[in-house]
Chains A and B, each alone.
Chain A
Amino acid sequence: MEHIPLNFPFLAAALLVGISFYIIIFKKNLIKLIMGIAMLASGVNLFLVSLGYRAGGVAPIYTDVPEGPMVLSVPQALTLTSIVINVAVLALMLTMVIRIYRHTGSLDSEKSRKMKG
């Protein structure tokens, strides 16, 4: 039973989420904000998949499967659902940015904050 030091895949997912928090707090360009949200989604999906891994495991499908214990199957189904939902939300955000650019003419988030009539 050899353990991976520092739980390295979980640490990589936490670093992805941390970098995306920095982008969302400090950047002002709208396209960079959308990229930060997409990076946040990738970090969460990586964390969800690597939670259900068994050491020396194989994929949970019974057709021509090699020897070994099977990995947990419920986190993989939840990650599929999460990926599809992130695609839908990203499409909606990008069309809103297109409309904001047509209306105000700039991609700065400070200029399109005040609500005018």
Chain B
Amino acid sequence: MLSKIVRTVANQLILFILVFGLYVIAHGHITPGGGFQGGAVIVSGVVMLLVAFSSHELKKSLRERTLSIVESSGAIIFAVLAFAGIGTVFFYNFLVGTPIFGGVPDPGPGPGNIWTGGVIPLMNFAVGLKVIAGLSAVVLAIALFSSGEEVEE
């Protein structure tokens, strides 16, 4: 565990990193970005918390059962969205034209509208959840194994 100044600054900075990461995930169909890139940004914030507080302290907040449930639900949501348009073809974009995230932008260059894209923003959220939970679990497991021999259930 590092000194009090580092711990206070890390407590304040994690909020801005979380907001920026969620912005990159949510605007994946308008600006460059998407599920994988936003997930990597948030995992780098978790690694900053792991360095400021020791892994012994972080183990009480990020339990392994919660991370496992979140990652599995991200994968299940992705598979359900892929199978939902099976009437035409596998991975069919069935939400273009309907009121939920339907809407087609004007052809050619121009400012983007967030209520477009069909099934793409929902898939971005599913993949973002999967990447965050998976990589956080890996980093936490390696840090716990090499510092102290704790029992992991």
Decide whether A and B assemble into one complex: yes
Closest to B139 in A: A91
| Shortest distance between the CB of A81 and any CB in chain B (Å) | 9
Find B30's partner among A59, A63, A91 (CB 8 Å cutoff).
A63
Kindly state the separation between the CA atoms of A98 and B144 in the bound complex, as whole angstroms: 13
- A64 contacts partner chain B, Cβ-Cβ < 8 Å: yes
The binding surface of chain B is classed by DSSP as loop
| Known contacts A95-B142, A98-B142, A98-B146; is-contact A62 B108 (Cβ 8 Å) | yes
Q: Are B110 and A91 in contact (CB under 8 A)?
A: no
Q: Tell whether, in the assembled complex, residue B36 and residue A63 are in contact, meaning their CB atoms are under 8 Å apart.
A: no
Chain B min CB distance to A9 (Å): 21
Contact between B112 and A91, CB atoms less than 8 A apart: no
CB of B145 within 8 A of CB of A62, answer no
B80-125 residues at the A interface, CB under 8 angstroms: 105, 108-112
- Chain B, interface size category, equals 10 to 19
Distance between Cα atoms of A94 and B36 in the complex (Å): 22
Q: Are A80 and B110 in contact (CB under 8 A)?
A: no
A-B CB contacts (within 8 Å), total count: 26
Is A65 part of the contact surface with B, judged by Cβ < 8 Å?
Answer: yes
CB distance from A67 to the nearest CB of B (A): 9
Q: Does A25 contact B (CB under 8 A)?
A: no
Q: Is A61 in the interface zone, CB < 8 Å from B?
A: yes
Q: Is A4 an interface residue (CB 8 A)?
A: no
Which residues, 35 to 92 on A, are CB-close (under 8 Å) to B? 59, 61-65, 80, 84, 91
Residue from the list A61, A62, A65, A91 in contact with B138, Cβ < 8 A:
A91
Cross-chain contact B32 with A65 (CB below 8 angstroms): no
Q: Is the CB of B112 within 8 A of A63?
A: yes
Chain A contacts of B142 at CB under 8 A? 94-95, 98
Residues on B with C-beta less than 8 A from A59 are 32
25 A-B pairs within 8 Å (CB atoms) are namely A59-B32, A61-B31, A61-B32, A62-B105, A62-B108, A62-B109, A62-B110, A62-B112, A63-B30, A63-B31, A63-B109, A63-B110, A63-B111, A63-B112, A64-B110, A64-B111, A65-B109, A80-B36, A84-B36, A91-B138, A94-B142, A95-B142, A98-B142, A98-B145, A98-B146
Interface residues of B, Cβ cutoff 8 Å to A: 30-32, 36, 105, 108-112, 138, 142, 145-146
Which residues on A are within 8 Å of B, measured CB to CB? Answer: 59, 61-65, 80, 84, 91, 94-95, 98
Apart from A62-B110, A80-B36, 6 more pairs, CB < 8 Å: A63-B30, A63-B109, A63-B110, A64-B110, A95-B142, A98-B146
